[in-house]
A and B are shown apart, each in its own frame.
Chain A
Amino acid sequence: MAPLIAFQNVSKRYPDGEREILVLDAVSMTIEAGVSVGVYGTRRSGKSTLLRLAAGIVLPDSGSVRFDGLEMAAMSAGARGRLLRGSIAFMSAEDWRAHPGETVIDHVATSLGSEGLTMREARRRAVRILDQLGIGAGGAQEIAASLSLTDRTRVMLARALAREPRLLVLDEPALMPNLGDRDRFYAQLRAAARERGLALLIASEEMAALQGVGVLVSIADGELCSTDERGTVVPLPRRRATGAR
């Protein structure tokens, strides 16, 4: 049986003025269904690009990314878009945006509109998922734009889980300042993944965020190093440029 997602010699470059930066360099890895994987790396190490490739948001310059055995680059843009509608959910705390006046329940329900649900049906599903994450009727009626960082992250998780994905990709998901809140969030995340048999791919520059993952990898300068030893610090080589275009 094919792994849920498989990277094979994946490279990705981005333009930087007159030069090109090699962001990912021949990365290979696989994630099986139901397994959680943590990616540890500093800023600009390539971890966000790795996650965006996993979600099919961008395509590799070389190598292959397969989801359920299907080559993502061979899929149409529409088919890759449909993955985001069901199989894969992507979450980044930096991408939070809510319209002024929009309630939490509507914020979650709106994301289900692409499935052809009416607003009433979408709200019903949103209530269910919010309830599972401990956001009751009162919280559901709050204005999304005025939420605290902690509640905001939980609502984002609700939004991601509402579409019942098989792979949840989280890029620096918890930016809340309180360490206790952060720990509670990650515990909730792990529990939700376990209950649903979800595969998790989490990236962070804080090792604390990656506690409890099944597999931990580190990334530096676009290269992936695997380690089973939690808390290991991998020496990070200097960023390389690949010369003029």
Chain B
Amino acid sequence: MRASLNPRIAGVRLSMLAHLYRVRLRSHAVQELLAGSGIAVGVALVLSVLVANSSLTGSAGELVHEVVGSARLQVAARSQQGFDASIATAARTLPGVRVAAPMMRENVTVVGPRGRVPVQLLGINEQALRLGGSEGHALEGRATAAGGLLLPAAVANAAGIRRGERITVLAFGAAHVVRVGGVLGEDRYGTLAASPLAVTSLGVAQRLTALPGRVTQLYVEPRAGADSRVRAELKRVVGPGVDVASAEHELALLDHAARPNNQSTELFAAISVMVGFLLALNAMLLTVPERRRFVADLRMQGYDWRQILVLLAFQASVLGLLASAAGVALGDLLSHAFLHRVPAYLTTAFPVGSREILRPETVLIALGCGVLATVLASLSPALDLRPSRPTDAALLDREGGSEVIARRTTVQLGLLGAASVALITIAVLVEPGFTIAGGVALALSTLSAIPALFAVLARALRWTGERVHSSALIVVVSELRAITTRAVALAGIAALAVYGSVAIGGARDDLLRGLDANFDEYLQTADIWVTTGGNDLTTNSFHATGLAASLSRVPGVSSVRSYQGGFLDVGPRRIWVIARPAGDAPQFPVSQLLHGNAARAERLLRGGGWATVSAGFASEHRLVVGGRFTLPSPSGPMPLRVAAITTNLGWAPGAVTLAGSEYRRWWRTEDPTALEIRLAHGVTPAAARRDVLRALGNRRGLGVQTFAQRERQYIADSRQGLQALSQIATLLLIAAALAVASALSAAIWQRRARLASLKIQGYGTGQLWRALLLESTVVLGVGCVVGAAFGVCGHALASRWLRLNTGFPAPFTVGLPGVFLTLALLAIIALAVISLPGLAAARSPARTTFQE
């Protein structure tokens, strides 16, 4: 090999490093495989979480770029009713404007043989072509020529629709038949094909929504250097009821809305990194005595400390890189199969696509995490390189004495763990922003508590062993007489898995309980809800002239009230606006009240001029109960006062509740987003629902749900939104259980000689097998108890963070069944897996003791 291809690193040839690693691989293939599997699982968890996170905002980002093209400014309507299209004509004549492309974007539903799929209808005209560059805009020609709808492949497949078919589109409460002009395949329209955008001509969109002459967006490309001037001119032209913002403002709004989801998954990513690291560390720890002797042997042959470090780093880097590459492939698979689910609650307000985005930097981060974890985990033999240690320390340490944790260290670690919990709790109570870092620190603190619990348990076992006749117990007491780093590492993995599951699972359950209570109260103002259907927050309006009156004549109907609502962009937030009719009681979910008096707030809301606001919105605008603020309504700034401060009512950017009469006046629309039907006493909702459906006749664009049906839909949506978290938690637990099981199995297998020597002393196979299972149960038990205790603490912190930072309703409750289920799952998987190798090791013949 040429010298340039075989450089010296710290005086050792690269080929020599490779040779030494080949020797290691040949002799310790199983350990390397075990370590590599651990690293791969950790990297897979990290990558899948990162991909799921970046895909959510990344696909929306790509989609927005497709739509806005070279536009840098936008004029956006504040309601579904849009603004007059003449504004587009006026804007085009402004000096400094190169292109002004009007568009219409509304939530509609397409109906196909396989069912209904909610989409965002995007109406564009020839001006969009001039925004240039984007393939999407070339669609206008096709859309116009086809005279129908271009559907993305994802939507067409889900609904079972093919090109050229005539399908039903439900828009604004009415059903329309439209021809499908084309299906946008993934080969040519990657981003659009996986998007929820159905493209059509502006004229068709206006016809479907029954909003002739109206548009919801105007994308403007100013000439170079004219941005500020054009922005000012646009504000003057559009007046006070329409927003002028950056063309990509929607991405900032989505980022804000998706933040709680992203932060939660980031916490999981952090825990995944730690689990991956500990899996690798644990696998490496099993080989520490052997590797220490190998290192000592090399040192005795003249390898200096730099060469040893290079050797350790080289071996770890190769292992880390190969295992991480496998982890990246596995993670990509995982994100495809499980994690890449777009939260339904976001698709009602944002054009979020299902396109998976695997960025090079994401892969590099995952690879980097894997390699770093492996290198760190492999450096423990480097402790022997300290100048104070004899060169041949590991050769003399045949009993592994240096792996034993001293009593004083156990006490110190226990105190350190207790102090860490106290410090983290105080830090997070003072500054909730520290919660994620605190959660990670708390997870690490679990490790410090394990030796102390081992010590207590070992004493208890000794006490029991002196009083109970059990040969297995005697063996276990003897084996656990000293606490080793290996036992702590094994228990540590179990602790970390339980910690993650209890903390995150508990916070997730709190959130679901809070959301369930919120939506139960929110929906109980009606026995039957008439809406446009779909996974909405009752924000899609429909034309309902005379409908309320006709429904009120249906037998059994006591009253029909018009509910209104929608989204409104205020600063970085897309706020959920709720406008209830005066007859609704309560006007807002009282259980969600944080500040103010419920009865007084109800009274003030009905009177007009007052609103309840979410805590996040209130703190951003420094509002207190009684404070004044303005909302940017379609009629201009709407003056309001704060009647009460609530949670975010389940919508991350926050909610504002105001009187229906005020909404009608400031939004200049009578169109409801729901009709609330109250039934007469004794009328069953199911029967009444059938009567209401009959009364609606051919208005197929409307859906009718009983209170129970609608509540089920909201519950399903909130669970779907948190599905990724549940799946990661489960994967984490299963991965950790398998890792603990494999590490325990390997540790048991390495002890065959010791077990054989016990056989010489008269122990039978059954006794040894029971002893191994008991010892494994003790190790697992220590990890599980510590993990559960710290997990409950982490759960309390996470729930508090959810309430304070995200404004979600998440009342803290210790879910003991969930904790026990987690413990049982981990224990069952691990013990089931180790029972066979345990039996095989226990059956080792007595002669084994002389062979090793």
| A residues with CB within 8 A of B | 52, 55-58, 77-78, 80-82, 84-86, 90, 94-95, 97, 99-102, 106, 110-119, 122, 159, 163
- Whether a CB of chain A sits under 8 angstroms from the CB of B20 is yes
Q: Which residue of B lies closest to A96 (CB)?
A: B297
Encoded as 1 (CB less than 8 Å from any A CB) or 0, chain B from 388 to 404 comes to 00111001000000000
Q: How far is the CA of A57 from the CA of B385 in the complex (A)?
A: 12
Q: B303-331: contact bitstring with A at CB < 8 Å (1 yes, 0 no)?
A: 11111000000000000000000000000
In the complex, chain B residues whose CB is within 8 Å of the CB of A84: 299-302, 391
Find the residue from B13, B305, B385 having the highest chain A CB count within 10 A.
B13
CA distance A131 to B299 in the complex (A): 25
What's the Cα separation between A32 and B402 when bound, in Å? 38
Cβ–Cβ contact B13 & A99, under 8 A: no
Question: A119 near B27 (CB under 8 angstroms)?
Answer: no
Measured between beta carbons, the chain B residues less than 8 angstroms from A55 are 391
Which single member of B6, B19, B297, B305 contacts A95 (CB below 8 Å)?
Answer: B297
B23 lies within 8 A of chain A by Cβ: yes
Q: Does B12 contact A (CB under 8 A)?
A: yes
A119 to B15 alpha-carbon distance, docked (Å): 7
Is B293 an interface residue when CB atoms closer than 8 A count as contact? yes
- The answer to whether A114 and B23 have CB atoms under 8 Å apart is no
Complex formed: what's the CA distance from A90 to B27 in Å?
Answer: 25
For residue B298, CB closer than 8 A to chain A, the reply is yes
Asked if residues A82 and B302 are in contact (CB atoms below 8 Å), the reply is yes
Least CB distance from B747 to A in Å reads: 20
- Nearest residue (CB) in A for B16 is A113
Between A and B, 17 residue pairs with Cβ closer than 8 Å are A81-B302, A84-B299, A84-B300, A99-B23, A99-B24, A99-B26, A102-B26, A106-B19, A110-B301, A114-B11, A114-B301, A114-B302, A115-B11, A115-B302, A116-B11, A118-B6, A118-B15
Q: Which residue of B lies closest to A110 (CB)?
A: B20
Which of chain B's residues have a CB closer than 8 A to the CB of A77? 305, 385, 387
C-alpha gap A110/B6 in the complex (Å): 16
- A113: chain B residues at CB < 8 Å are 12-13, 16, 19-20, 303
Residue among A52, A95, A113, A119 with the highest chain B CB neighbour number at 10 A: A113
The A-contacting residues of B in range 277-307, CB under 8 angstroms, are 293-294, 297-307
Once bound together, how far apart are the Cα atoms of A85 and B305, in whole Å? 12
Chain B residues whose C-beta falls within 8 Å of the C-beta of A115 in the assembled complex: 11, 302
The 4 A-B residue pairs with the shortest CB-CB distance in the complex, in nearest-first order: A85-B302, A111-B301, A99-B27, A113-B16
Nearest-neighbour CB distance to chain B for A170, whole angstroms, equals 13
Which residues of the other chain, B, contact A85 by a CB distance below 8 angstroms?
A: 301-304
On whether the beta carbons of B305 and A78 are closer than 8 Å, the reply is yes
With A81-B299, A110-B19 given, can you name 6 additional A-B contacts, CB distance below 8 Å? A58-B390, A81-B302, A82-B304, A85-B303, A86-B302, A111-B302
Q: Known contacts A97-B293, A110-B19: does B300 contact A78 (CB below 8 Å)?
A: no
Q: Which residue of A lies closest to B12 (CB)?
A: A113
Q: Judge whether B459 is part of the interface by a CB distance below 8 angstroms.
A: no
Contact B16 A78 (CB under 8 A): no
Complex alpha-carbon distance, A90 and B16, angstroms? 22
- The answer to the question of B8 belonging to the interface, with a C-beta cut-off of 8 Å to chain A, is yes
Complex contacts, A112 vs chain B, CB 8 Å: 301
Which chain A residues border B12 with CB–CB below 8 Å?
Answer: 113-114, 116
Q: Chain A residues with Cβ under 8 A from B293's Cβ?
A: 97
- CB contact list, B324-367 vs A, under 8 A: none
**Which residues of B have CB within 8 Å of A122?**
16
> A117 touching B13 by the CB < 8 A rule?
yes
> Which chain A residue has the least Cβ–Cβ distance from B18?
A119
- The CA-CA distance from A159 to B301 in the complex, in Å, is 8
* A80: B residues at CB distance < 8 A: 391
Asked whether, in the complex, the Cβ of B391 is within 8 Å of the Cβ of A81, the reply is yes
Q: Is B1 an interface residue (CB 8 A)?
A: yes
User: Does A57 contact B390, Cβ atoms closer than 8 Å?
Assistant: yes
Q: Which residue, of A78, A99, A101, A163, has the highest number of chain B Cβ atoms within 10 A?
A: A99
Tell me the complex Cα distance, A178–B433, Å: 74
- State in angstroms the CA–CA spacing of A84 and B8 once bound together: 20
Most-contacted residue by chain B among A80, A82, A115 (CB, 10 A): A115
Query: Which residues of A lie under 8 Å from residue B304 when comparing CB positions?
Result: 78, 81-82, 85, 114
- Whether A119 and B19, one on each chain, are in contact in the complex, defined by CB atoms closer than 8 angstroms, is yes
Would you call A116 and B8 a contact (CB within 8 A)? yes
Residues on B with C-beta less than 8 A from A163 are: 301-302
- Min C-beta distance of B489 to chain A, whole Å: 24
- In the complex, what residues of B have CB within 8 A of residue A95's CB? 297, 300, 392, 395
Contacts of B302 in A (CB 8 A): 81-82, 84-86, 111, 114-115, 163
Indicate with 1 or 0, residue by residue over B2-33, a CB within 8 angstroms of chain A CB atoms. Answer: 00001010011101100110011011000000
Q: How far is the CA of A159 from the CA of B11 in the complex (A)?
A: 19
In the assembled complex, the Cα of A113 lies from the Cα of B9 at a distance in Å of: 11
Q: Chain B residues with Cβ under 8 A from A114's Cβ?
A: 11-12, 298, 301-304, 307
Partner of A101, one of B6, B8, B11, B27: B27
In angstroms, Cα B1 to Cα A112, docked, is 18
Q: How far is the CA of A101 from the CA of B23 in the complex (A)?
A: 8
- Given the known interface contacts A102-B27, A111-B301, the answer about A119 and B13 at a Cβ–Cβ threshold of 8 Å is yes
Looking at the assembled complex, report how far the CB atom of A188 sits from the nearest CB atom of chain B, in whole angstroms.
Answer: 21
Instruction: Give chain A residues whose Cβ lies under 8 Å from the Cβ of B294.
Output: 97
Nearest-neighbor residue (CB-CB) of A145 within chain B = B27
Contact of B392 among A52, A110, A116, A117 (CB under 8 A): A52
Q: Is the CB of A117 within 8 A of B26?
A: no
Measured CB to CB, the nearest residue on chain A to B11 is A116
A102: chain B residues within 8 A (beta carbon): 23, 26-27
- Asked whether A118 and B23 contact (CB < 8 A) given A52-B392, A84-B300, A113-B303, the answer is no
Most buried by B among A77, A80, A90, A112: A77
By beta carbon, the residue of chain B nearest A77 is B387
Quick one: which of B517-552 are within 8 Å of A by CB?
A: none
Q: How far is the CA of A57 from the CA of B12 in the complex (A)?
A: 22
- Distance of A36 Cα from B97 Cα, bound (Å): 98
> CA of A190 to CA of B257 in the docked complex: distance in angstroms?
83
Assess whether A118 is in contact with B16, with CB atoms less than 8 Å apart.
yes
Q: Shortest distance in angstroms between B513's beta carbon and chain A's nearest beta carbon?
A: 57
CB nearest neighbor in A for B395: A95
A81, A115, A116, A159 pick with most chain B CB within 10 angstroms: A81
Complex CA gap A69/B554 in Å reads 112
Q: Which residue of B lies closest to A111 (CB)?
A: B301
Please, how many angstroms separate the alpha-carbon atoms of A99 and B19 in the complex?
12
A117 CA to B8 CA in the complex, in Å?
A: 9
Residues of the A chain whose Cβ atoms lie less than 8 Å from the Cβ of B299:
81, 84
Residues of B near A159 (CB, < 8 A) are 301
Cα A78 to Cα B391 with chains together (Å): 11
- Which of B16, B27, B385 has the largest number of chain A CB atoms within 10 A? B16
Contacts of B16 in A (CB 8 A): 110, 113, 117-119, 122
By a CB distance below 8 angstroms, the chain A residues around B307 are 114
With A and B bound together, what is the CA distance between A149 and B603 in angstroms? 97
Q: How far is the CA of A86 from the CA of B390 in the complex (A)?
A: 19
Note all chain B residues with C-beta closer than 8 A to A52: 390, 392
A163 and B298 CA atoms in complex are apart in Å by 13
Distance between Cα atoms of A18 and B8 in the complex (Å): 47
Whole-angstrom CA separation of A111 from B391 in the bound complex: 15
Which residue of A has the minimal Cβ distance to B294?
A: A97
B23, A106: Cβ atoms closer than 8 Å: yes
Contact A81 B24 (CB under 8 A): no
A196 shortest CB reach to chain B, Å: 17
Taking CB as reference atom, which chain B residue is nearest A76? B387
A78 proximity list for chain B (CB < 8 A): 304-306
Partner of A90, one of B19, B26, B298, B300: B300
Measured between beta carbons, the chain A residues less than 8 angstroms from B391 are 55-58, 80-81, 84
Separation of A242 and B305 alpha carbons in the complex (Å): 34
Chain B residue nearest to A113 (CB atoms) is B16
Contacts of A97 in B (CB 8 A): 293-294, 297
Determine the distance from Cα of A56 to Cα of B304 in the docked complex, in whole angstroms.
13
Q: Which residues of the partner chain A approach B20 to less than 8 Å between Cβ atoms?
A: 110, 113
Residues of A within 8 A of B15 (CB): 118-119
Q: Which residue of A lies closest to B19 (CB)?
A: A119
